[in-house]
Amino acid sequence: MNGWMGKILRVDLTSGACSAHPLEPSVAKDYIGGRGLGIYLLNQEVDPNCDALSAENPLIMATGPLTGTGAPTGSRYMVMTKSPLTGAITCSNAGGMFPTEFKRTGIDAVIFTGRSERPVYLWLDGETAELRPADHLWGKTTHETTDALLTETDAKARVACIGPAGEKQVLFAAIMNDKHRASGRSGVGAVMGSKNLKAIVVKGKGRIPLADPDRFKDFNKKILDTFKEAIRETPLGLTVNGTAGVVMATQNFGVLPTKNWQQGTFSGWEKIHGEELTRRFLKKNSACYGCPIACGRKTKVDVPGFEGEGEGPEYETIYAMGANCMVDNLAAITKANYICNELGMDTITMGATIACAMELVERGYLPEEQVGRSLKWGDAVALVELTRLTGLREGFGDLLAEGSYRLASRFGHPELAPVSKKQEFPGYEPRGSQAMGLAYATSPIGGSHMRGDPAYFELFGVPEPMDPHQWEGKAKVTKAYQDLSAIIDSAGLCIFFSVRHLAAKDLGVAPVGILEYLNAATGADYTLEELMQAGERIINAERLFLTKAGFSRKDDSLPDRLTQTPAPTGPAKGLVCHLNEMLDEYYKVQGWTEDGIPTREVLARLGLA
C-alpha cells in the first residue's frame, strides 16, 4: 500500500498480547484513515451501550494517509472511543511530532482492548510492540512522564501519555503528546486511565511510501508556496498571534461567550486577546511536523503567583477560562492552561465548568461552603486553584471533575450547563452565528467546532461569506462542512488546511487540494464525488453508533438560554438561535428521518446497510 502503512496493531491489555493485522485496501479507501478508520473499527469492536470506563470499551488511535508525508498541516492523529463524559463517540485529535513518528513505526492504527491489572505503557520501536511496567510513572504529570520515558527508551522517541487527571478518571481528561499537544475532548484520557495504560512511546524506523512521489512533490511545492505567500494574510492571522487572535474577531461579531454564555461580549477582552499574549508572554512560535503556519505559542509567565512556562493558551482556552468566567487576567488564564497540560485535562470543559459553578454560586444554588472558598465572577486566583484541584480530584475539584452538566444537575439546575450531549461548547455564541448552533447540536461528539466549523463562512468568509444572523439555508452548508471535517480528520490533516484550500461548490465546500494530495500519496484514484461521499459515509457511520446508543433528535439540542432568551448585548442583540427550524431542514438534507435516524436508502447508498 502507499500513503497507508497497511497494518493495524491490536493490543490486549488484559493478556498483554500484541498482534499486527493487515488493513484491508477497500476499508482504507472507503474510510480514508484517521477518524474514518476509527469509526469503522469502533463499530466493529464495541457495543455502543457499554460502560465507557469498562474493559469492554476499546481505545483506538489512528493516523491518516497524509500524516507525516510533508503535506502542510499533515501531522494529525485521532483518538476514538466511547466517551465517559457524553456516552457518545469521541473523535479527539492532536498534532505535534508524535503522529508522524507513530505512523513511521509501520502502523496505521492501534486498538487497545481490555484492562491491565497494573499500570503499563506501550513501547513501539519500529514494528516491535512491547508492553512495559509503568508503576513508577503512576501519579506523575505528563511532563514528568514524558521526560522519564525518553530517558528509559530513546531520546529521539515521541510520547503520548496521561497525567493524574486521566488516572483519576476526570471525565474530561486528555491524552497529551509532545508535552503540550492535547487530544482533549470527551474524556479520552479517562478511558486510557481506566485501562491502566499510562503512555504510548513510539520510535519510527520506516518512511511513508508514496504512490507518485514526483506528482506529490510538485503539488506540495505549489501548495506550500501559496501558504508562504498568504501566511500573514489568512483570515485568522494564525502565524502572527496564533488562535488567540480570534478573540478580537468574536468580540467584534458579538459571539465571544461571556459569563457562562449569558452574553456574547466581554468588556475585558482587550486584556486577553492575541496581541496581548504575543506582547507579554510569547517566546517563539511552535509548529507541528511539516506545517508552515506555526500557530503554536511557546510562552513564559513571570507574574508573581502565576509563574510558569509551556505552550498556549489557545483561543478556546482564553474564551473558556477568560471571558466565560469574566477573568481578564491573562497571566492566570495562561497558568491554568499550563496546569491543564501538565495534569492532562481539556481546557474548554474545565473553564466552562468553573463558569457554571460561578453562576450556581451567584444564584444561591451552590453554597460557597461546599466550594471551600469564595467564588465570584472574575476571580483569577480561584480559576487557577480550582483547575489544580480538579486534576487531582481533591476537595470541590472532585465535583468539577464530572463536567458542568453533572455539576449543575447535582444542584438542581442542569439548564445552566452550556452543553450539547453533555459536552461543553467551544467559543462561538450561536445566537450571533446561527450555523454554529446547528453544528454544536448535531456534532457526533457533543458540543464541538472541530467536527464541522461553520464559523469559517459565517465569521471569516471562507470560502464565501454568509450572513451569520440568518438561519435559513444554513443546513446544507453545515452538512457540507461536517463532511469536509470528516475528510480532513481522516486524511491526517489539520482543520487549518481548509483556511486556504477550499473551493465553493453549490453553497458547500469542495476539498480539491486534499483530493490531489490523497491521489498522489495513495494511488487510490479518488474522484471528487467519491471523496465527498467518503466524508458523508463517515458522518453516517458515526450517526449509526449514536442511534444504537440511544441518541436521537432529543439529544441534538442547545440550552434554552441560547434558543429562547435573546442575546442582551452586541451585534446579535435581540436574537435567538433557531435550532428547531434548522434541524428540520438539516435532517432532510442528510436524508434522515424527522427524528434524526439515517434511512435505509441513505445507508444502502453509502455501503452501510
Average pLDDT estimate for 327-349: 98
Strands of 314-395, DSSP E = none
Q: Reply yes or no on whether the pLDDT at 231 is more than 60.
A: no
The Cα 235–Cα 249 span in angstroms is 10
Q: Reply yes or no on whether the pLDDT at 233 is more than 70.
A: no
CB–CB of 192/58 below 8 Å? no
| 64: in domain | yes
* 159 and 299 both lie in a single domain: no
Average pLDDT estimate for 77-89: 98
pLDDT at 571: 95
Place of cell 457511520: 541
The Cα 390–Cα 493 span in angstroms is 32
Least confident interval from 262-266, 322-326, 333-337, 475-479: 475-479
Average pLDDT estimate for 546-559: 97
Residue that terminates a domain, selected from 399, 423, 447: 423
| 227: in domain | no
How many residues are given for the chain?
Answer: 609
pLDDT at 557: 97
Q: Reply yes or no on whether the pLDDT at 511 is more than 90.
A: no
Could you tell me which residues are beta bridge partners of residue 92?
79
CB–CB of 387/394 below 8 Å? no
The Cα 180–Cα 182 span in angstroms is 6
Range of the domain at 499: 428-605
Residue that terminates a domain, selected from 402, 423, 444: 423
| 223: in domain | no
Q: Reply yes or no on whether the pLDDT at 443 is more than 80.
A: yes
CB–CB of 335/384 below 8 Å? yes
Average pLDDT estimate for 385-398: 98
Q: What is the number of other CB atoms lying within 10 angstroms of the CB of residue 401?
A: 27
Could you tell me which residues are beta bridge partners of residue 78?
62, 93
| 224: in domain | no
Residue 120 to residues 25, 58, 149, 155, 277: CA-CA distances in angstroms? 32, 16, 12, 19, 38
| 52: in domain | yes
Average pLDDT estimate for 269-277: 96
Q: Reply yes or no on whether the pLDDT at 466 is more than 90.
A: no
Average pLDDT estimate for 132-151: 98
The Cα 403–Cα 355 span in angstroms is 11
CB–CB of 93/81 below 8 Å? no
**24 secondary structure, DSSP code:** P
The dihedral sign for the CA sequence 120, 168, 81, 297: negative
For residue 80, which of 202, 9, 183 has the smallest C-alpha distance? 183
* 382 and 487 both lie in a single domain: no
Q: Tens of pLDDT along 176-218?
A: 999 999 999 999 999 999 999 999 999 998 899 999 999 999 9
* 95 and 163 both lie in a single domain: yes
* 343 and 391 both lie in a single domain: yes
pLDDT at 510: 63
Could you tell me which residues are beta bridge partners of residue 63?
77
* 366 and 266 both lie in a single domain: yes
| 217: in domain | no
* 53 and 179 both lie in a single domain: yes
Q: Reply yes or no on whether the pLDDT at 159 is more than 50.
A: yes
* 197 and 254 both lie in a single domain: no
What proportion of the chain, given as a percentage, has pLDDT over 70? 96
CATH of the domain at 145: 3.60.9.10
**What pairing do the DSSP bridges indicate for beta strands 197-203 and 120-125?**
parallel
CATH of the domain at 524: 1.10.599.10
pLDDT at 235: 44
CATH of the domain at 408: 1.10.569.10
pLDDT at 34: 98
| 222: in domain | no
DSSP class per residue in 123-187: EEETTEEEEEE-GGGTT--HHHHHHHHHHHS-TT-EEEE--HHHHTT-TTB-EEETTTEEE-GGG
pLDDT at 11: 98
Task: Give the pLDDT band of residue 551 (cuts 50, 70, 90).
Answer: very high
* 11 and 108 both lie in a single domain: yes
Average pLDDT estimate for 63-91: 96
pLDDT at 507: 47
One-letter amino acid identity for 447? G
Q: Tens of pLDDT along 161-175?
A: 999 999 999 999 999
pLDDT at 509: 58
3-state secondary structure of 448: coil
**48 secondary structure, DSSP code:** T
Average pLDDT estimate for 370-376: 96
* 98 and 155 both lie in a single domain: yes
For residue 446, which of 187, 258, 255, 189 has the smallest C-alpha distance? 187
User: For the chain, what is the domain count?
Assistant: 3
The Cα 593–Cα 552 span in angstroms is 10
One-letter amino acid identity for 90? T
Torsion of CA 526, 461, 418, 588, to 10 degrees: -50
- Mean of pLDDT over the chain: 94
Query: Residue 206: left (phi > 0), alpha (psi -120 to 50), or beta?
Result: beta
CB–CB of 361/260 below 8 Å? no
* 197 and 257 both lie in a single domain: no
Residue that terminates a domain, selected from 371, 390, 423: 423
The Cα 121–Cα 46 span in angstroms is 23
| Set of cell numbers at residue 96 | 505535534
* 319 and 404 both lie in a single domain: yes
Query: What spatial distance separates the first Cα and last Cα of the chain, rounded to whole Å?
Result: 27
Q: What is the number of other CB atoms lying within 10 angstroms of the CB of residue 321?
A: 31
| 127: in domain | yes
Q: What is the number of other CB atoms lying within 10 angstroms of the CB of residue 48?
A: 18
* 53 and 153 both lie in a single domain: yes
Q: What is the number of other CB atoms lying within 10 angstroms of the CB of residue 373?
A: 14
| Rg, Å, the chain Cα set | 22
Q: Reply yes or no on whether the pLDDT at 508 is more than 60.
A: no
Q: Tens of pLDDT along 18-52?
A: 999 999 999 999 999 999 999 999 999 999 999 99
CA 318 to chain centre: 16
